[in-house]
Amino acid sequence: MESELVKRFILLLIIVFIGYVSKPLWEEPVQQAIPSSVKDSIRSAVDFGKEYAADNFTLDNLTQQLDSLFKSPDNLPPGSKGTDIETPKLSAPEDHLFSIHNIELGQSKAKVEQKIGKPKRTSKNEYGVSWAAYHENYHNFIMVAYDKNNMVRGLFTNQDLIASAKGVKLGSSKQSVRDHLGTPESAIRKGLVNYQINSNGEYDVFRLDNSFVTVFYDKHANNTVTAIQIINKDLEQNKDGFYTEPSKSLREGFEYQLFDLTNATRVKHGLSILKWDDHVSETARNHSLDMAENQYFAHTNPQGQSPFDRMKEDNISFITAGENLAYGQFSSIFAHEGLMNSLGHRKNILRENYKYLGVGVAFNNESQPYYTEDFYSNSPSL
């Protein structure tokens, strides 16, 4: 208790001093995603961020150093390393090349929920069905898509829940994946149109086992497997194009899915879970809508407002804040994995002292989504 009070006092002195000397010290570096050319069917997030003065890092650095002095194994944040949540024992798939959390395509919803319980959230996805998200405080995170008969038609995870008859798992190298699974697809045909896959090396798509298997790689971990999505062939083919007709339910689905994916990634990296904030979500959504309607892609809007200006205008009080943008990815899964492969965005997603996250999505007149993530904290990290 005494050490906690000392820490709080030191942090208070630092904040008062820094606030007196220079207001911009409270403004985190903002990173942005820039899409590749418009003709690409899949656009990736590329780091093109602005770096403010080096002092922007100072407050974070001092806070983190104080955290390391006062933290003990018994005082770790929720979702951090040291959790007693058990990782399931994975078995080789029985009927398919891949299983996730010992679940395979074609299994019934009843069988899934007998194994892992009820979903924490169900939200609309780009395939006209829903992702059901299962997890334990974002540990053992998996998303499952069911058809109208409640049979598994889609699976996703970005945690160590992948089992394969081919030996592919979380952490496998890109080369070993290709050695085991063959040559990735270069295009996906829908009707009379071939949609070119332009992944920039961030993922491979394989047509295997009557399904499309997308294996995502982490560029910052030697191009090793960081996530996998498995979609039944019929479900994929029923989706007419790369983009889905916008709707309120799809917008909300993309927002909640990006939020859940961010927290699942933070837990995977031993960090605390962020809280959903309706207020800043509205700020983020308004910026996505502004970009979509006025055909621009930037942190600073045509009125010259930065993310910090927009938050302040919406009466959001913060000590640290940051914003990630992505555009053109046809789902939150692809947007999130692209952001994680861009160093500036990755730093925002994995920044230890953020506490709140709001996500806002909007679509332009070509059904292309704009994603805005606004992160912030209104108190020191303790």
How is the chain split among helix, strand and coil, in percent rounded to 5? Answer: 35, 25, 40
Helix, strand, or coil here: 269?
A: coil
Query: CA-to-CA distance for 326 and 299, rounded, in angstroms?
Result: 11
User: What's the confidence (pLDDT) of residue 83?
Assistant: 54
User: What's the confidence (pLDDT) of residue 86?
Assistant: 80
User: What's the confidence (pLDDT) of residue 189?
Assistant: 84
User: What's the confidence (pLDDT) of residue 87?
Assistant: 81
Task: Concatenate the DSSP letters of all residues of 303-347 into one string.
Answer: T---HHHHHHHTT---SEEEEEEEES-SSHHHHHHHHHTSHHHHH
Domain layout of the chain by residue ranges: 98-238, 248-377
Output the CA–CA distances (angstroms, integers) from residue 369 to 243, 329, 363, in the order listed.
8, 7, 4
Topology classification of domain 98-238: Pathogenesis-related Protein p14a (3.40.33)
> Stretch 276-305: mean pLDDT, rounded?
97
Compare 63 and 366 and report the one with higher pLDDT.
366
User: What's the confidence (pLDDT) of residue 14?
Assistant: 57
Tell me whether residue 21 is exposed, middle or buried, using C-beta atoms within 10 angstroms of its C-beta: 0 to 12, 13 to 18, 19 or more: exposed
Residue 34 has pLDDT above 60, yes or no: no
Residue 227 has pLDDT above 80, yes or no: yes
Task: Concatenate the DSSP letters of all residues of 5-57 into one string.
Answer: HHHHHHHHHHHHHHHHH-GGGG---B--B----TT-SS----B-PBP--THHH
Do 98-238 and 248-377 come out as alike in CATH topology?
Answer: yes
Compare 242 and 65 and report the one with higher pLDDT.
242
Query: CA-to-CA distance for 82 and 151, rounded, in angstroms?
Result: 35
Query: CA-to-CA distance for 288 and 361, rounded, in angstroms?
Result: 6
> Stretch 361-378: mean pLDDT, rounded?
96
Amino acid of residue 5? L
> Stretch 108-134: mean pLDDT, rounded?
98
CATH architecture of 248-377: 3-Layer(aba) Sandwich (3.40)
Cβ(102)–Cβ(114) below 8 Å: no
Cβ(322)–Cβ(29) below 8 Å: yes
